[in-house]
Chains A and B, each alone.
Chain A
Amino acid sequence: HPPRHRGSSLSPRNPEQKIIKRVIALEGDIIKTIGYKKKYVKVPHGHIWVEGDHHGHSFDSNAFGPVSLGLLHARATHILWPPKRWQKLQPVLPPERKPLQREQE
């Protein structure tokens, strides 16, 4: 299955702002949401579901819903600054956020 990376995208609510979140689910996946208006969501075609790593304190898909792929700007691969935070960002999906059903299955 495709790795889930951290991506940066244009904010769906504020087009001037870029936000950086983790890709949790791709189109066709069914996931359980945290505080979204619907408890279960099937990610529509051409969209992704993004979440911040700090649940509950993150303005992400649980607030504004699935994000259109056209808004995806870039993929975050490394933290460069400050020097003590220098690291490669791992494309890891938190186990508790795995989709209930993947498109490929």
Chain B
Amino acid sequence: MLRNALGKTLRFLGYTVQYGCIAHCAFEYLGGIVVCSGPSMEPTIQNSDVVFSENLSRHFYCIRKGDIVIVKSPNDPKSNICKRVIGLEGDKVCTSNPSDFLKSHNYVPKGHVWLEGDNLRNSTDSRCYGPVPYGLIRGRICFKIWPLNDFGFLRASPNGHRFLDD
């Protein structure tokens, strides 16, 4: 009777460990569900929206200009930020604010990306902390799950003028 209970418990633990490992690998290498907070990506992503992010693009280095990515914060490794990629390495980006009188431009250094929130007036991004190393990118947001009235693929950037053509 006791041996039966012990056997069942060990089997249960075994399954838990197995599923735990598979879940960890899935979240690390495939993707996962993310709850976003903050106003910096409005109107594309609102506070408390739930999105799905995939991690394959960053492993295969096919993050593209215009993608929305989840990035480890450059100043706080424990928190994540969600922004749009405005420029990849070698691209020319406008480093000044839209309200500045004199515009300044620069090229994104090797191994880095330039990030900006869609809500330019209320976003701390690369205009504040500079280009972000590619290695900090954790995943690419491809799909919004919640709220249901906004379910589906994410819109393109409302700030097309920030993407400078080569």
Contacts and interface: CB of A to CB of B under 8 A. Distances in A.
A11 B111 contact: yes
A45 B77 contact: no
Interface in A22-72: 44-47, 68-72
Pairs A-B, 8 closest by C-beta atoms: A70-B72, A10-B135, A46-B75, A69-B77, A70-B77, A15-B134, A13-B111, A15-B135
Question: Would you call the interface of chain A mostly helix, strand, loop, or mixed?
Answer: loop
Contacts of B76: 45-46
Interface of A: 10-16, 44-47, 68-72
A15 B111 contact: yes
B73 A15 contact: no
A86 to B, nearest CB: 30
A46 B134 contact: no
A47 B77 CA distance: 9
A68 B74 contact: yes
B94 interface: no
B110 interface: yes
B111 A12 contact: yes
